[in-house]
Amino acid sequence: MSRGLLSDYFTGVMYKRLAAVEVDRLRSNQHEFNGNPGFKRLLGTAPRRELTATFLYLDDERRVSGPGRLTWYDARAAHPTRTEHHLYYTPNEVVPLARAGDGFFLALRPDDEVLVIIAPAGSSVLAQLFWLFDMDRTGALELETRDLSTSPVEAGFLARMVLEELGIEAEGPGEERFDTLVEQFGLAFPSTRVFSEFARKSLGNLDPRDDPDAVLMAWIEREEQLFRRLERRIVSERLSEGFHADGKVDVDGFLGFSLGVQNRRKSRAGAALENHVEVVFQAFGLDVERGARTENNNRPDFLFPGAAAYHDPAVPAERLLMLGSKTTCKDRWRQVLSEAARIEHKHLLTLEPGISESQTTEMKDKRLQLVLPASIHASYRASQRPDLSSLRDFIDLASERQGPGGGTQPQA
């Protein structure tokens, strides 16, 4: 994909809430979704249409997918004036997980294949899908349809994060132009620190002090683009070699390689975020220690001003700060709560768009402040945004706590 637009991946999408009669086996066992005007706008009004589909169930903890087929048909095709369309689906392991009230998305791909997505009501996944498809984020609407065939929306870094949760390998616009940049690494991954520094330098002299939120996102976006190009080269070379052992196809070898690719992506993304955030803090001259030890061998990602001050009872707890760093939260945000007992109000930086209102409310109740680059705030509901902090907000707080005498000095 050279344009990197949402229309590269979808031509249209429809959302509805699932009714009990569609998913409750005690109410019906017809394997059908009720037809409605949204289906007709997306699939047309032909008497019968067969579609290849991928079914996907996503909640904040798991992902279940499987193949299937859909049949869009008019049950009253023989009637001279009436029509009654239904959407029949073949049995699969996804639909039985659904409950009445869950969100249902029917997304049509450019090749006419269909992605059926089910997400629980109130989940972060559902909120992120509303954001991705630019739908009503309150979830108040029973039915909504979007024509994406001419959408100018770019599938940027955040959108690609959500698309990959849907099993879609999304490539940013014009990433092939980075091939010459990554040639110096050959067919080997450098350390994350080396690669993060390389990504920053490739963007020239961006100064985080001008706009820390925008600069952080620019660095993250560039490193992601460069990494994917290098990864594509390395993986392509390995696949061309094939997987064989003792003259046979080495299935276990292939599966191990595939798992390694996925694990590397996740671990590298987290380390890259920490690398860039650390450089931002250095630009502002903040006293901070990365991975400092607190109680019970806990190691918060960033401790202000550092371990020595944290373990010094002469330094008031009010002068201390900690910041966890996670590219995506899901339920793992609770890990941060136990990482620094002396610090009552903790902070967590994430790049995850559209976390559900129930999750952010729980974070607030647990005295965890969510920190997001300013550009991500728009993916949250208006009711959530007053409780969000930007990276600039956090830096201002850290600077205030540090004070003119330095963060390691006890308060007079």
pLDDT digits 0-9 by tens, 275-327: 999 999 999 999 999 999 999 999 999 999 999 999 999 999 999 999 999 99
CATH number at residue 311: 3.40.91.80
Number of domain units in the chain: 3
**Is 408 a member of any domain?**
no
**Is 412 a member of any domain?**
no
Q: Are residues 16 and 71 in the same domain?
A: yes
**Is 125 a member of any domain?**
yes
Give the DSSP H/E element, type plus range, for residue 85: strand 85-89
- Does residue 28 carry a pLDDT above 70? no
Do the beta carbons of residue 146 and residue 123 sit within 8 Å?
Answer: no
Mean pLDDT of 213-238: 90
Domain boundary residue, one of 284, 299, 328: 284
pLDDT at 2: 40
Q: Are residues 153 and 75 in the same domain?
A: yes
**Is 1 a member of any domain?**
no
**Is 39 a member of any domain?**
yes
Instruction: Tell me the residue range of the domain where 234 lies.
Output: 175-284
- Reading the block at residue 177, the tokens are 């132009």
Domain boundary residue, one of 266, 284, 302: 284
Nearest 10 degrees: CA dihedral of 252, 256, 262, 265? Answer: -160
Known catalytic residues? 310
- Does residue 86 carry a pLDDT above 50? yes
- Does residue 26 carry a pLDDT above 60? no
In tens, the pLDDT along 113-158 reads 999 999 999 899 999 999 999 888 776 777 788 888 877 767 788 8
Q: Are residues 142 and 44 in the same domain?
A: yes
Q: Are residues 368 and 243 in the same domain?
A: no
Q: Are residues 263 and 277 in the same domain?
A: yes
Q: Are residues 352 and 295 in the same domain?
A: yes
**Is 274 a member of any domain?**
yes
**Is 211 a member of any domain?**
yes
Q: Are residues 249 and 343 in the same domain?
A: no
User: What is the identity of the amino acid at 129?
Assistant: L
Rounded CA gap, 30 and 21, in Å?
9
Q: Are residues 19 and 124 in the same domain?
A: yes
Question: Using omega within 30 degrees of 0 as the cis cutoff, is the peptide bond preceding 300 cis?
Answer: no
Nearest 10 degrees: CA dihedral of 187, 192, 193, 194? Answer: 10
Q: Are residues 280 and 301 in the same domain?
A: no
Q: How many Cβ atoms sit within 10 Å of the Cβ of residue 190?
A: 15
Give 347's strand partners.
323, 369
- Reading the block at residue 157, the tokens are 């870094």
Rounded CA gap, 232 and 183, in Å?
12
Rounded CA gap, 90 and 190, in Å?
46
In tens, the pLDDT along 169-199 reads 876 666 677 788 888 888 888 999 999 999 9
CA 4 distance to own-chain centroid: 17
Do the beta carbons of residue 217 and residue 373 sit within 8 Å?
Answer: yes
Domain boundary residue, one of 251, 267, 284: 284
Q: Are residues 258 and 153 in the same domain?
A: no
Mean pLDDT of 4-21: 87
CATH number at residue 90: 2.40.330.10
**Is 409 a member of any domain?**
no
Q: Exposed (0-12), middle (13-18) or buried (19+): which is 337, by Cβ within 10 Å?
A: middle
Q: Are residues 331 and 391 in the same domain?
A: yes
Judged by DSSP in three states, 203 sits in: coil
- Does residue 109 carry a pLDDT above 80? yes
Q: Are residues 317 and 343 in the same domain?
A: yes
pLDDT at 172: 63
